[in-house]
Amino acid sequence: MRIGIYGGTFNPIHIGHTSLAQSLIEQRLVDEVWLMVSPQNPMKQPSADDYNHRVNMAIIATKGMPHVQVSDFERNLPLPSYTITTLNQLSLTYPQHQFTLIIGADNWQRFNHWYHADEIQRRYPILIYKRPGYDIDPQSLPPTINIVDTPLYDVSSTEIRNHKKLKMISPDVLKYIRTHHLYSY
């Protein structure tokens, strides 16, 4: 199967994330999307301590999305989780699947700074989804890198953590956040 690897901290997961995954499935760009919950993003603050909560919320938010799986595969990989390590380990563990990296146009701008960016590009197809304010010229991309159109939702996890835009998360995730008093809720 063609598996799209969509990584993030998902702290917490919101409608922007789930709609994007669903759209890639509906456009048949991949057969499944695996939401790769990162214990620690090399470019963000460490947040490994709330890992189980972030995984649980992702599972709750994707209930009823049969082609979207939540993966904690990076739990057992060295920290920080570098994408190339994850992709190579996934390929070894699941030789029957082909892995495609899914990243936002915001991340594409910084992609050159990613650990072993060349190897990622050489070994794995990349799907770049559009983000407002980050235009990319498709002509500048090699054939294994494609830009995809997905619905755009104006929301970030930061806003949810700051008690804003609560309509942009699943009610069950909000319930989970309140039950566990996450983000001072």
Instruction: List residues near ligand ATP by CB under 6 A.
Output: 8-11, 16-17, 20, 104, 106-107, 131, 153, 155-158
Nearer to ligand ATP, 37 or 90 (CB): 37
- Taking the complex as a whole, the smallest distance from the CB of residue 110 to ligand ATP amounts, in Å, to 10
- Taking the complex as a whole, the smallest distance from the CB of residue 180 to ligand ATP amounts, in Å, to 18
Nearer to ligand ATP, 85 or 109 (CB): 109
Kindly report the three-state secondary structure assignment for every residue of 72-135: CHHHHCCCCCCHHHHHHHHHHHCCCCEEEEEEEHHHHHCHHHCCCHHHHHHHCCEEEECECCEC
CA distance 86 to 104: 18
Under 8 Å between Cβ of 30 and 4: yes
- Taking the complex as a whole, the smallest distance from the CB of residue 14 to ligand ATP amounts, in Å, to 6
Nearer to ligand ATP, 98 or 156 (CB): 156
Which positions ≥6 away from 28 have C-beta within 8 Å? none
Which positions ≥6 away from 80 have C-beta within 8 Å? 40, 41, 42
Nearer to ligand ATP, 96 or 154 (CB): 154
Nearer to ligand ATP, 90 or 103 (CB): 103
- Taking the complex as a whole, the smallest distance from the CB of residue 98 to ligand ATP amounts, in Å, to 21
Q: Which residue is nearest to ligand ATP (CB)?
A: 16
Please state the separation of Cα 43 from the chain's center in Å: 14
Using CB atoms within 10 Å of the CB of residue 179, give its burial: 0 to 12 exposed, 13 to 18 middle, 19+ buried. exposed
- Taking the complex as a whole, the smallest distance from the CB of residue 143 to ligand ATP amounts, in Å, to 23
